[in-house]
Amino acid sequence: MTVIFSKKCEIGIQAILYLATEGEKELFNAHQIAEKVKQPKEFVSKVLQTLTSSGIVGSKKGKNGGFFLNRSANKVRLIEIVETIDGLDIFNNCVLGFPGCSSEEPCPVHDEWGRLRDEAYKMLSEETLEDLIDITKTKLLTLH
C-alpha cells in the first residue's frame, strides 16, 4: 500500500534502482526491466519514458533499443525521481487535503505530519542511487 508516492512513482524508483545496479549506460528493454521489478511491462515503459524528460534515464529507439541510467548513480537523488513523477506537492500541501492548513490554522495531523514530511524530504534529498545499490541487489534477488 502506498502512503506517500503514487504507484507510478514506486515503479519508477524500482526501475531506476534496477538500472543503477547494472551500471551507467547499460541498455535494457522495458520487458527486461519489468521482469526484474515484477511490474507490468507497459506501465514500466510509460514511467521510464516520463523519466527520460528529466535526463535521469536515457533511451535508445529501435529493435535493439531500451533504457539506461543516463547519469552516474552517485549523482541521482531519490527526490529527483519523486519530483519528476509525482511532483513535490506532498511536501508542501496538507496531507489531509484541507485548504488553508498552516501553522496558524493547522489540520488535526499538521504538526506530526510536518515532522514526518521533513524527515522524508531530507532522506530523499540525501540518498543517492549509489547509496542503495547493494540493498537493491539483495531485494531484487528475493523477488524471483
Residue 61 maps to a domain: yes
Tell me the C-alpha distance between 86 and 106, whole Å. 24
Residue 100 maps to a domain: no
- Counting residues of the chain whose pLDDT is more than 70, the rounded percentage is 97
Residue 50 maps to a domain: yes
What Cα–Cα distance (Å) separates residue 111 from each residue in 20, 37, 102, 116, 122?
A: 36, 36, 9, 9, 17
The residue-averaged pLDDT of 65-76 equals 95
What Cα–Cα distance (Å) separates residue 142 from each residue in 38, 122, 137?
A: 11, 28, 9
- Which domain range does residue 46 map to? 7-87+128-142
Tell me the C-alpha distance between 69 and 23, whole Å. 7
The residue-averaged pLDDT of 83-92 equals 92
Q: What is the pLDDT of residues 17-52, one digit of tens each?
A: 999 999 878 899 999 999 999 999 999 999 999 999
CATH code, domain carrying 50: 1.10.10.10
Q: How many domains does the chain have?
A: 1
pLDDT band, very low/low/confident/very high, at 144 (cuts 50, 70, 90): low
Residue 46 maps to a domain: yes
Residue 138 maps to a domain: yes
Q: What is the pLDDT of residue 1?
A: 41
Residue 114 maps to a domain: no
Residue 62 maps to a domain: yes
Q: What's the residue count for the chain? A: 144
Residue 110 maps to a domain: no
pLDDT band, very low/low/confident/very high, at 3 (cuts 50, 70, 90): low
